[in-house]
Structure 1
Amino acid sequence: MNILQTEIKFIPGVGPKRAEILQKEIDVFTLGDLLRWYPYRYIDRSRMYYVHEIDQSQAYIQLKGKITAFETFGEGRKRRLVAHFTDGTGFVDLVWFQGVRFIENKYKFNQEYIVFGKPSLFNGKWNIPHPEIDPYMGESDRPEGLMAMYNTTEKMKSHYLNSKAMQKILESAFGMIKERLPESLSPDVVKEARLMPFHDAVENIHFPKSTALLKDAEFRLKFEELFYIQLNIVRYASDRKSKLRGVLFPKVGRYLNSFYKKKLPFPLTDAQKRVIKEIRKDTASGKQMNRLLQGDVGSGKTLVAIMCMLIALDNDFQSCLMAPTEILAAQ
């Protein structure tokens, strides 16, 4: 069986209950679906900040320091745990609203930790709600590079399927892959467009080794998406041409000739003449025509449309000119 068809429940860290949530919330049923569930942004974990550097412009921040004390405030559902954290340049409060007893027993005073989270200002003091905390074991243990962030729903979070948990599940999924993922585009297309191989693109979109490799991965996957969209459009148009007949406009009559020779106060541009000839050829072929006419403001697109409407009138058909707004319709 293709490894990509593996049911999501068989990936380590998922199981039947979590699999049901992933299926309902984000339409992920297989390992292949999971790999194509891409991050929505990335956070640079390569830099360590000091507490005194925290400001409101920072979406996320990473600190290294020690917990000096715990305090508990409130009762019942309003109960919260606050850890006073310092790196020697200042203090920041780490705040938890859930798992108070577990958190208080897990972390120790005067042991160095790496703290990562979103800083906010409350009553004039900086705090980080529900931060990620890891013991600091030395420079070799320091987080590096870009970290993928995933959009998760409230129901996913309630089952501990937040962005970090999903990243661990994706790591487990990659651990199940023993061979390179099969290429999803032809070798000629990959070579001609100078694309990153599919396996490398998927790996770097989830676990980017560098900013440059992330950009190459994003380009590859965006190219592939647009390539297949365009391919479907071309195939659909080809099917319509071969299977469905269009209305035949065999002649050009007095309405178009009279307008062109007597009513038009200026000569057509070469581009207008070329487009009208192309449309005339299509409408005389008996095949359906779907056409997008693109041009700058004032280039004469509406005039081309009117002259094509006159061809329809010459062949005893009605036509309709539509505008997207009332103002444009009045113009």
Structure 2
Amino acid sequence: MNINSSITEVKGIGDKTAALFKKLNILTVRDLILSVPRDYLSYSEPIPIANVKSGVRCAVYAKVSSYVKSEKRGHLLISSVKISDDSGSMYVTFFNCPFIKNVMRPGASFIFTGNAKFAFNKLSFDMPEYYDSKKYDAMTRTMQPVYGLTSGLSNKTFQKIIHEVVPLADSIEDPLTEDIRKETGLMPLGEALMNVHFPVNTETLKCALGRLAFNEFLSFLLEVNRLRSDNVARESEFKLADGAKIRLESFLASLPYSLTDAQKRAIDDIVNDMSGPYVMNRLVQGDVGSGKTIIAAAALFVTVLS
């Protein structure tokens, strides 16, 4: 398996899961590795059930204290079970998880985490994550990625699959040489991709995201330069009308305010481009209220005259 392999070659991805990833435009291993998390979760230490508050994400270490009760409502299977610790009890509810009755057996202990809610006179977790204490302890020392999902694809599955492919991140070609990376203080691309999926801490994550942001700007600037090069080779058929510049000066002089030097330079550059032999490729950039609209109006004025 390599970065250009189909995602169906990844352990844990069958045709059904591949179809879900296709909805996210993820078709190859490279696509998976470049799918940056949209958020991160920090897993807190478990608290007593008595301290759980509705609407707040938290974790509890509790024992299953009842058998799973399931009922079918149309196409929805609702399974509910009671959990308890020394301070009290609450409920956890799962949807369309027929296997849960074999997991949530009376006496089994888990750490449950999710957003608690109080409804129908009882406190509960809906579709909580659940872990054994050893695995959860390891997770409290890391930041867990949250991915953009589609219906039928869980974040847990996405994480598991990323674990399978992220070691291949170093195989993605880095456009920056080692000398440039040292000069700019940027991470190698492979290291940044691994850390953006599973950061050790916020500082590492910040450095990783900074490197990926640099890549985006670099790609944008390279594309702009390519378009500019293409346009240099394209001869312009536009002809500036005789006297257009003089009439433009009269138009600008009739305004109830004076243009800034920066606005005048921008208009001169645009008019010179329009009267040149090649197709213009220019971007006007400025803060809100800096006067971009009058620059566009001046360009339109000259265009109409011509």
Give SS of 1:3's match: coil
Residue identity in the other structure for 1:186: L
Equivalent of 1:238, from 224, 229, 240?
229
Structure 1 residues 80-116: Cα deviation after superposition (integer angstroms, max 9, x where no partner): 432221232332201134345x433333433431112
1:29-68 equivalent positions in 2, closer than 5 A:
29-58=27-56, 60-68=57-65
Query: Which structure is larger by alpha-carbon Rg, 1 or 2?
Result: 1
- The one-letter code of the counterpart of 1:233 is V
Q: Is the 8 A contact 1:46 1:144 kept in 2?
A: no
Change in CA separation of 1:84 and 1:285 when aligned onto 2, cut-off 3 Å: same
Q: Name the CA shift for 1:300/1:205 in 2 (closer, same or farther; >3 Å).
A: closer
1:171 matched to 2:131: no
Tell me which residue corresponds to 2:14: 15
Partner residue of 2:79 out of 57, 78, 81: 81
Q: Provide Cα deviations, 1:127-176, integer angstroms capped at 9, x if missing partner.
A: 1123222233598656432111223222xx2xxx411012111112235x
Structure 1 residues 89 and 304: CA distance shift in structure 2, 3 A: same
Letter in 2 for 1:30: T
TM-score (normalizing by structure 1)? 0.77
**In the TM superposition, what is the alpha-carbon distance from 1:309 to its structure 2 partner?**
4.8
Conservation of the 8 A alpha-carbon contact between 2:231 and 2:281: no
Aligned partner of 2:131 among 120, 131, 134: 134
**Inter-CA distance 81–268: structure 2 relative to 1 (3 Å threshold):** closer
Pair 85,244 (structure 1): closer, same or farther in 2 beyond 3 Å: farther
> Of 179, 197, 209, which residue of structure 2 is paired with 1:218?
209
| CA contact 2:5–2:28 (8 Å) conserved in 1 | yes
Q: 1:80 to 1:185 in 2, by over 3 A?
A: same
Contact 2:91 2:123 in 1 (8 A): yes
In structure 1, the residue matched to 2:3 is: 4
In 2: Cα distance, 1:6 partner to 1:299 partner:
49
Q: 1:147 aligns with which of 133, 144, 148?
A: 144
Counterparts of 2:26 and 2:187, CA distance in 1: 25
Give the alignment's Cα RMSD to 1 decimal.
Answer: 3.2
1:35 deviates by 0.8
The separation in 2 between residues aligned to 1:268 and 1:152, in whole angstroms, is 50
Report the counterpart of residue 220 of structure 2 in structure 1. 229
Kindly provide the amino acid, as one letter, of the partner of residue 12 in structure 1: K
Give the counterpart of 1:107 among 104, 109, 121: 104
Partner of 1:181 in structure 2? 171
Q: Which amino acid aligns with 1:255?
A: R
**Distance of 2:195 and 2:91 partners within structure 1:** 34
1:273 partnered with 2:264: yes
The structure-2 alpha-carbon separation of the partners of 1:110 and 1:245, relative to structure 1 and needing over 3 Å to count, comes to same
Amino acid at match of 1:126: L
2:154 aligns to what? 162
Task: Confirm or deny: 8 A CA contact 2:238 2:274 kept in the other structure.
Answer: yes
Q: Matched residues in 1 for 2:135 and 2:65: separation? A: 20
Match of 1:327? none
1:90 corresponds to:
88
Of residues 68-77 and 226-235 in structure 1, the stretch that sits farther from structure 2 once superposed is: 68-77
Give yes or no for contact 1:93–1:128 (8 Å, CA) kept in 2. Answer: yes
Give distance in 2, aligned partners of 1:275 and 1:235: 22
Aligned mate of 1:199, from 178, 185, 190: 190
Mapped to 1, the partners of 2:40 and 2:136 lie a distance apart of 22
Deviates more, 1:139-148 or 1:283-292: 139-148
Offset at 1:23? 5.2
Corresponding residue number in structure 2 for 1:322: none
Specify every segment of 5 or more residues in structure 1 that has no aligned partner in the other structure, as ranges: 318-331
Checking the alignment, whether the CA contact within 8 Å between 1:248 and 1:286 is kept in structure 2 is no
Stretches of structure 2 that go unaligned for 5 or more consecutive residues are none
Task: Verify the 8 A CA contact 1:252 1:311 in the aligned structure 2.
Answer: no
Of the two structures, which has the highest relative contact order with CA contacts closer than 8 Å and spacing of 6 or more? 2
> What are the Cα deviations for residues 286-330 of structure 1, in whole angstroms up to 9, with x where unaligned?
2222434344566554444454455456xx51xxxxxxxxxxxxx
SS of equivalent residue, structure 2 residue 3? helix
Question: SS at the partner of 2:83?
Answer: strand
